[in-house]
């Protein structure tokens, strides 16, 4: 009798798990990947859209072009994860499973910050980035507030990258001197957990004349008077407000006994949940490490998926005992002026969590480009049927 491996969410985690399992298991194991979208996008390509360097259409990779033909893709919205009956209900179907991998990512909650939907912009969704570009394109003078509302949020360096790229964007257009750029973060320092990051970032902010306001938690916006309310401080006026929305676990996860109202807790060694043969990977999980947590980033989602695939293969074949999850990965950071830095992290593999900023340099740009290229080539064929070369 064949076995069913069901993967919920075709992001970094889901795509990587599906690819490895398909390569390693024979056809008696069916692998089904479900996602509500028809396409995948690399997180950092939202900057390409936000700054008008590429269109939304140019950054999408479509699931109809999955590289592994033996992975069945179903486009549908998952509405119920029923762990007792081992069933997953989507809008149109019901699926059973022998193994379940949940990689449903994080949901953005812009409405959780009063006034933000009406008065602000974001670049964490593709639609948000698309909406923001024409606004930036027309902006020639005034005050821009760029704010992170709270933790956890995907890719800790991303908001700082936004700041540096805003500076470059307006400099090239010759209007930077007429624009005041202020960044507000609730933390006492920018990326305090990554060694070397805070000093580098602060220096770059000073050089670029971007005001960095730490311990500034924006609690809401007044879109009429264009004021941002800040916890325990005077409000700040803005002409354009760009924020990183609060994140939460997707509704279907919060409402299941996997999430119990929040993120999924897993055994950090193999990403197993408390339910038999049910795993969770990526942004949808919360993995505490001392007073921190494994960051939400594609690199960690993918690393987790490799461990889960190995664990399942070991359960099935008894071969290749898997290595524990080390939470290692790299996040890139656009530093402006064409330079790229990278934050390399190992959260669970050593005696204490390690996270170090390297660069910035022109040379690291090649690493960022191959990060994107390698993943797309591994997971997708080109629409004409060829592999990405």
**Burial level of 83, CB count in 10 A (0-12/13-18/19+)?**
middle
Binds ligand FAD by CB under 6 A, chosen from 155, 201, 228, 307: 155
**Per-position x/- string for 236-265, each x denoting binding to ligand FAD as judged by CB under 6 A, each - no binding:** --------------x-x-------------
75 in Cβ contact with 35 (< 8 Å): yes
Which residue from 133, 38, 47 is spatially nearest to 76, judged by alpha carbons?
Answer: 38
Judged by CB under 6 A, the chain residues 166 through 205 that form the site for ligand FAD are none
Q: Is 100 in the site for ligand FAD (CB under 6 A)?
A: no
Q: Which residue is nearest to ligand FAD (CB)?
A: 11
Helix axes 158-172 and 197-207, enclosed angle (nearest 10): 20
Query: What are phi and psi for residue 261, nearest 5 degrees?
Result: 90, -10
How does DSSP assign 158-222, residue by residue?
HHHHHHHHHHHHHHHTT-GGGEEEEEE-SSSSSSTTSBTHHHHHHHHHHHTTEEEE-S--EEEEE
Binds ligand FAD by CB under 6 A, chosen from 86, 167, 216, 296: 296
Judged by CB under 6 A, the chain residues 268 through 287 that form the site for ligand FAD are 282-284
> What's the min distance (Å) between Cβ of 231 and ligand FAD?
24
Nearer to ligand FAD, 37 or 143 (CB): 37
Which residues, at least 6 apart from 134, have a Cβ–Cβ distance to it below 8 Å? Answer: none
Number of H helices, E strands in the chain: 9, 24
Binds ligand FAD by CB under 6 A, chosen from 5, 9, 116, 327: 9
Nearer to ligand FAD, 175 or 348 (CB): 348
> What's the min distance (Å) between Cβ of 296 and ligand FAD?
5
Binds ligand FAD by CB under 6 A, chosen from 55, 58, 77, 94: 77
Q: Which stretch binds ligand FAD (CB under 6 A): 55-63, 103-111, 208-216, 269-277?
A: 103-111
Question: What does R_g of the chain's alpha carbons equal in angstroms?
Answer: 21
Q: First vs last Cα of the chain: how many Å apart?
A: 38
205 in Cβ contact with 213 (< 8 Å): no
Q: Is 120 in the site for ligand FAD (CB under 6 A)?
A: no
Q: Is 332 in the site for ligand FAD (CB under 6 A)?
A: yes
Q: Which stretch binds ligand FAD (CB under 6 A): 7-15, 201-209, 313-321, 354-362?
A: 7-15
Only one residue has tokens 């056809």, namely 27
Binds ligand FAD by CB under 6 A, chosen from 37, 171, 277, 339: 37
Chain residues binding ligand FAD by CB under 6 A are: 9-14, 34-37, 43-44, 46-47, 77-78, 103-105, 124, 154-155, 158, 250, 252, 282-284, 296-299, 301, 329, 331-332
């Amino acid at each position: 009798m064949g076995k069913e491996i069901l993967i919920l969410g075709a992001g970094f985690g889901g795509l990587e798990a599906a690819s490895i399992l398909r390569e390693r298991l024979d056809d008696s194991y069916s692998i089904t990947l479900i996602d509500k979208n028809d396409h995948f996008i690399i997180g950092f390509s939202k900057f390409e859209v936000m700054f008008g360097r590429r269109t939304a259409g140019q950054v999408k990779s479509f699931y109809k072009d999955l590289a592994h033909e033996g992975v069945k893709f179903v486009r549908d919205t998952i509405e119920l994860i029923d762990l007792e009956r081992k069933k997953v209900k989507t809008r149109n179907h019901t699926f059973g499973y022998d193994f379940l991998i949940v990689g449903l990512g994080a949901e953005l909650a812009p409405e959780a910050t009063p006034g933000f939907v009406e008065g602000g912009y974001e670049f964490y969704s593709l639609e948000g980035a698309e909406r923001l570009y024409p606004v930036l394109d027309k902006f020639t003078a005034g005050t821009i507030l760029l704010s992170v509302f709270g933790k956890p949020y995907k890719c800790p360096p991303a908001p700082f990258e936004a700041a540096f790229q805003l500076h470059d964007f307006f400099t090239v257009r010759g209007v930077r001197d007429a624009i005041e750029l202020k960044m507000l973060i609730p933390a006492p320092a920018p990326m305090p957990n990554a060694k070397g990051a805070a000093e580098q970032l602060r220096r770059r902010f000073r050089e670029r004349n971007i005001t960095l306001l730490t311990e500034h938690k924006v609690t809401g916006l007044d879109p009429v008077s264009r004021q941002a309310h800040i916890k325990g401080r005077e409000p700040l006026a803005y002409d354009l407000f760009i924020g990183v929305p609060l994140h939460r676990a997707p509704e279907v996860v919060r409402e299941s006994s996997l999430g119990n109202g929040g993120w999924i807790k897993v055994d950090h060694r193999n990403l197993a949940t408390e339910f038999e043969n049910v795993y969770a990977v990526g942004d949808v999980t919360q993995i505490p490490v001392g007073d921190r947590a494994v960051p939400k980033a594609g690199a960690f989602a993918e690393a987790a998926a490799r461990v889960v695939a190995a664990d399942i293969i070991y359960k099935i074949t008894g071969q290749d005992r898997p290595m524990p999850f080390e939470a290692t990965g790299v996040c890139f950071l656009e530093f402006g002026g064409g330079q790229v830095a990278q934050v390399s992290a190992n959260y669970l593999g050593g005696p204490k969590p390690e996270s170090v900023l390297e660069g910035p340099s022109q040379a690291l740009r090649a690493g960022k480009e191959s990060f994107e290229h390698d993943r797309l080539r591994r997971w997708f064929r080109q629409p004409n049927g060829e592999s990405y070369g």
